Structure 1
Amino acid sequence: MTDHSFLVPFVPIRPEQLLPFAALAQWSGTHRMWQGQTVSSDPLQTFTYAAASGFRTPVGTSVSLMPFCHPLEAALRVRSLAAGTGHSVVAGFGPGATVLQRSLLGSAYRSQLGAVRDYVTIVRALLEEGQVQYEGEFYSCRGQMPRLPLPPIEVGLGVLRPGMAELAGEIADVAITWLTPVDYLRSTVIPALRKGAEKAGRPVPRLVALVPVALHAPDRDVTRLALASNSGHMRLPHYIDMLSRSGIAVDMQNSPEASAKALVAGGAFLYGDEQELKARLAEYADAGVDEIVLNLTGVAGTHGNHIALRETEILLKAVGS
């Protein structure tokens, strides 16, 4: 059975702005509330604030960027979040764009996969064993943490391309995708996950797909919605490459509107009425996605957070959450 969750579709500047969505997560029975990396507020702190305000719910990060935080600190923060919420946590990690790596670290990782392997190995050891003795090319750590009774913590990887998907199959509990059309998941990501899991002799990680969606309305421009949701991602080389592999050509420098239209035509951004979206989201479940995360950032960016909240509730009901 496929679970349904939602992404907080905006960046909270003040933590109390998150509370209406946290309330929705709690009373609607949605599987999990997700939030992405920002430089305006820390998702782990806003989640903890929501829990302290009485809205305790499972949460997930999609994804925390490795250059911001040493893996020991990352493990400590995730444990603190699980203790604060009293619910399970998916801690998603990713290397970020190479421009970010150069800005924060002085140079990009020589190997994206090697850096992720080092980072996640350290985090997993600290979370599972309470100690680590690891010397890697990119990250090293000799440390320990007291073992405490905590809700379950799953370590996830942000996955776009086959190499990272195969690595997730080897070392992660969860593979987290963003903007990936269902056909690409079926043909590329899922086989790579299985290959990595078989290589490591372990179960295939859960697959979580964050899917940008918007309900049809007469006064809406789907091109504008798609750009509001994804214009930043469509400028990054690793997203451009993933979309190209899935048959979607984007060129934000020269033709942003054409790029947005290609995104919609290629099934990376879903737009339609309740029944149409329910049917198209069901395709993700049929392909083997374990958790579908509704991403209404385009609606929030063009029509406001209150409209995005209402539509999130409508779509959760439509898919049965």
Structure 2
Amino acid sequence: MLVTTHGLTLDGVIGQVRAAAQAGVSTAWLPQVFGDDALTTLAVAGREVPDIKLGTAVVPTYPRHPLALAGQALTVQSATGGRLTLAVGPSHRATIERAYGYSYDRPVQHVREYLTALAPLLRGEPVEYRGETLTVAGAVDVPAATPPSLMLAALGPAMLRLAGEMTDGTVTLFTGPRTIANHVVPTITRAASEAGRPAPRIVVGLAVCVSDDAPARRELLGAIYAAVGTGGEPSYRSMLDREGVATAVDVAIIGDETTVERELRRYADAGATEFMTTLFGTEEENARTLELIASFG
């Protein structure tokens, strides 16, 4: 479940995490945008709700030096008994250059160097690294903290290869089942195998709603996703084009329980190992959705 933080107090976010745990959902994922700090929120929520795994989806790399991010992630691990998955990603050119003022000219090189430093830091190892885009010198000491699972948000071939080579898996968004089966799974799995790593986790991010009024929910989601794939996030447009669909609503799953279960099964058959579900229905619809999602792990 992808926990919605927009417009909610910390208590409201904790309430969503608790509801997900009570429904039997395996993991609560928090985004990192311009608002609540995802890792800080997960540390608090994890102390309040002990029966659910926790994940970031995703923390942008450019604004956080690997030493700073490693210290924060290991603190969350310590606070929550080792339940964190740390998913990171380079974000998008429009965000990184306009909001943060960093260059986005070499994102693949940046991510490779970032992961080269971050992974050993998460293991508590000292790092002395001077790359073309990044310098890291130091270590992070958080007693008794175990390394979190490290994942990379990846859609294009180069990022997927990095995810397979250097992390435990990937998190996708706005990606349909054919694209998962024909592009994401083979690319990342081949890279993981060549690097001698285990089969990767493939967390598929989807908007899902169990509803008896699918047309109304599609209209609502169309308004929410109106800007997806239209300009500042070309990687999303690329995924929609690979799937052969026009909008992000076309890869959402909306309908009654039978319909939603059938569509989720298509993703599972395509190679999805986990689902990260965005809820956008009524309270009653979201409860139905959570119950169904829980059965998929």
SS at match of 1:233: coil
Contact map agreement 2:5 2:36 (CA 8 A) in 1: no
Task: Write the distance in 2 (CA, Å) between the matches of 1:205 and 1:292.
Answer: 14
Residue matched to 1:280? 263
**Aligned residue identity for 1:316:** I
Label 1:218 to 1:185 Cα distance change in 2 as closer, same or farther (>3 A): closer
**Aligned residue identity for 1:168:** A
1:179 to 174, 179, 196: 174
Structure 1 vs Structure 2: percent identity of aligned residues?
A: 27
Structure 2 counterparts to residues 1-321 of structure 1, below 5 A: 6-11=1-6, 13-55=8-50, 57-146=52-141, 148-218=143-213, 220-235=215-230, 236-249=233-246, 259=247, 263-264=249-250, 268-296=251-279, 298-299=280-281, 303=282, 306-307=283-284, 309-316=286-293, 319=295
Label 1:225 to 1:9 Cα distance change in 2 as closer, same or farther (>3 A): farther
SS at match of 2:170: strand
Label 1:193 to 1:218 Cα distance change in 2 as closer, same or farther (>3 A): closer
Unaligned runs of 5+ in 1: 1-5, 250-258
Contact map agreement 1:56 1:87 (CA 8 A) in 2: no
Task: Write the distance in 2 (CA, Å) between the matches of 1:292 and 1:54.
Answer: 20
Contact map agreement 2:121 2:127 (CA 8 A) in 1: yes
Give the TM-score normalised by structure 1: 0.84
Task: Write the distance in 2 (CA, Å) between the matches of 1:69 and 1:280.
Answer: 37
**Aligned residue identity for 1:91:** L
Question: How many angstroms does 1:147 deviate by?
Answer: 5.9
The two structures, once aligned, show a CA RMSD in angstroms of: 2.2
Task: Write the distance in 1 (CA, Å) between the matches of 2:84 and 2:37.
Answer: 15
Cα deviation per residue 1:88-124 (whole Å; 9 max; x = unaligned)? 2111111111012212553432221111111111110
Give the TM-score normalised by structure 2: 0.90
SS at match of 1:63: strand
Q: What number of residue pairs does the alignment pair up?
A: 295
Contact map agreement 2:208 2:289 (CA 8 A) in 1: no
**Aligned residue identity for 2:291:** I
SS at match of 2:62: helix
Task: Write the distance in 1 (CA, Å) between the matches of 2:146 and 2:222.
Answer: 37
Question: How many angstroms does 1:232 deviate by?
Answer: 4.3
Contact map agreement 2:89 2:152 (CA 8 A) in 1: yes
SS at match of 2:199: coil
Question: How many angstroms does 1:18 deviate by?
Answer: 1.1
**Aligned residue identity for 2:35:** S
Task: Write the distance in 2 (CA, Å) between the matches of 1:87 and 1:97.
Answer: 30
Task: Write the distance in 2 (CA, Å) between the matches of 1:31 and 1:190.
Answer: 22
Residue matched to 1:253? none
Label 1:150 to 1:160 Cα distance change in 2 as closer, same or farther (>3 A): same
Question: How many angstroms does 1:172 deviate by?
Answer: 0.9
Contact map agreement 1:50 1:56 (CA 8 A) in 2: no
Cα deviation per residue 1:207-243 (whole Å; 9 max; x = unaligned)? 1111111123238524323324533433322211221
Task: Write the distance in 1 (CA, Å) between the matches of 2:49 and 2:192.
Answer: 39
